[in-house]
């Protein structure tokens, strides 16, 4: 069985390929990389507070996340 964040899973996108991401409340809690991204080529998963300001920046890769709803 393949783990959902396995590097061989073709349904996942590579992590950190964009500099800015849009996030929806249904996607919270927010982590970087997100669950839809592969972890093998990225940094450790870190949870980011975005609820209060609508903006979060990853301390590892500097990806910017914007809450759109």
User: What is the reported pTM?
Assistant: 0.73
Strand partners, 48: 30
Convert the pLDDT of each residue in 19-68 to its tens digit. 899 999 999 999 998 888 777 667 889 999 999 999 999 999 999 999 99
Count up the domains in the chain and report the number. Answer: 1
Domain ranges, residue 7 = 1-69
At residue 6, the 3 state secondary structure works out as: coil
For β-strands 30-32 and 46-48, DSSP reports them as antiparallel
């Amino acid at each position: 069985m393949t783990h959902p964040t396995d590097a061989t899973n073709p349904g996942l996108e590579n992590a950190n390929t964009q500099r800015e991401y849009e996030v929806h409340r249904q996607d919270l809690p927010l982590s970087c990389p997100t669950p839809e991204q592969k972890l093998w080529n990225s940094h450790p998963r870190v949870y980011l507070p975005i609820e209060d300001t609508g903006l979060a920046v990853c301390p590892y890769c500097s990806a910017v996340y914007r809450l759109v709803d």
